[in-house]
Amino acid sequence: MFTSVSGRSVIVTGGSRGIGKGIARVFVRAGANVVITGRDEAAATACVEELTALAESGGSAGGSVSYFLGDVARAEDCAAMAATALERNGTIDVLCANAGIFPDAKLVDMTVADMDRVYATNVKGTMLAVQACVPALARSGRGRVILTSSITGPITGFPGWTHYGASKAAQLGFMRTAALELAPMGITVNAVLPGNVATEGLAELGEAYRASMEASIPAGRLGEVDEIGYAALFFATDEAAFVTGQALAVDGGQVLPESLEALSAAGAP
């Protein structure tokens, strides 16, 4: 039986939709006090309303949720995010550094601005969010940092995403040294590597695209956003205190087949 994270203070950057919303939902259900972040107020408000309704309908062990608007690529916004969580919830126990963007551009067409934009959010934004929360995470005594990386970059490649793949692999490089530096403060730093997950953005790409993605996954389906949340929740427990600097792929076996033949021999639909 895992220790409850009820009452813990959790920040989920990019928690207003997609995977971040799934992570936030899992922590709210577990009774945590969650601050979600994003830049778009309409999405953040809608998410808080949805998760508050869940908490108030008895779907939570006393959890709460609120939002903070800010850009993870700006140090001052990350500092204000940490200050806001401290003011509202008294401490910061868990930071889920999840905010990320994935615009596509082939390498031959990619501009310096394209590269800078992806790196600013995915790499610098991760580092700034962690840096801003370290003092409070250290005071917590059981600080947890959980990064949302990806299978794309650390394990696989996808045309159009050289900058994105590099940024997701960079998060793991950051994680390993951060885990070393923060271990003496009682803080662990781990990463979840989602495979293809069903988000609002994916739904916009249409049924044919979804079907082709499902066909490449041995489990025969896309991941659910909450399934990324469950992996994050594990890293946040007291029982995971001795796990640090680790990357966990949550992908329904997507990276395992060595060929299309291996995939069909496994009986994938």
Instruction: Cite the active site residues.
Output: 164
Is 71 a binding residue for ligand NAP by CB under 6 A? The answer is: yes
Size of the site for ligand NAP (CB under 6 A): 30
Bridge partner list, 66: 35
Q: In whole angstroms, how close is the CB of 109 to ligand NAP at the nearest point?
A: 21
Q: In whole angstroms, how close is the CB of 191 to ligand NAP at the nearest point?
A: 10
One residue of 3, 40, 180, 205 binding ligand NAP per CB under 6 A = 40
Is 25 a binding residue for ligand NAP by CB under 6 A? The answer is: no
Is 101 a binding residue for ligand NAP by CB under 6 A? The answer is: yes
- What is d(CA 260, CA 266) in angstroms, rounded to the nearest whole number? 10
- Span from 3-11, 24-32, 66-74, 172-180 in contact with ligand NAP (CB under 6 A): 66-74
Nearer to ligand NAP, 99 or 182 (CB): 99
Is 179 a binding residue for ligand NAP by CB under 6 A? The answer is: no
Neighbours of 145 (CB within 10 A): 26
Decide if 63 contacts 6 (C-beta within 8 A).
yes
- What is d(CA 71, CA 124) in angstroms, rounded to the nearest whole number? 11
Is 121 a binding residue for ligand NAP by CB under 6 A? The answer is: yes
Is 252 a binding residue for ligand NAP by CB under 6 A? The answer is: no
Is 134 a binding residue for ligand NAP by CB under 6 A? The answer is: no
- Span from 53-61, 96-104, 109-117, 256-264 in contact with ligand NAP (CB under 6 A): 96-104
Is 251 a binding residue for ligand NAP by CB under 6 A? The answer is: no
Site string for ligand NAP, 195-214 (x = CB under 6 A): -xx-xxx-------------
Q: In whole angstroms, how close is the CB of 63 to ligand NAP at the nearest point?
A: 19
One residue of 9, 16, 84, 162 binding ligand NAP per CB under 6 A = 16
Site string for ligand NAP, 138-167 (x = CB under 6 A): ----------x-x-----------------
Full 3-state SS string of the chain: CCCCCCCCEEEECCCCCHHHHHHHHHHHHCCCEEEEEECCHHHHHHHHHHHHHHHHHHHCCCCEEEEEECCCCCHHHHHHHHHHHHHHHCCCCEEEECCCCCCCCCCCCCCHHHHHHHHHHHHHHHHHHHHHHHHHHHHHCCCEEEEECCCECCCECCCCCHHHHHHHHHHHHHHHHHHHHHHHHCCEEEEEEECCEECHHHHCCCHHHHHHHHHCCCCCCCEEHHHHHHHHHHHHCHHHCCCCCCEEEECCCCCCCCCHHHHHHCCCC
Binding residues for ligand NAP (CB under 6 A): 13-14, 16-20, 37-40, 43, 71-73, 98-102, 121, 125, 148, 150, 194, 196-197, 199-201
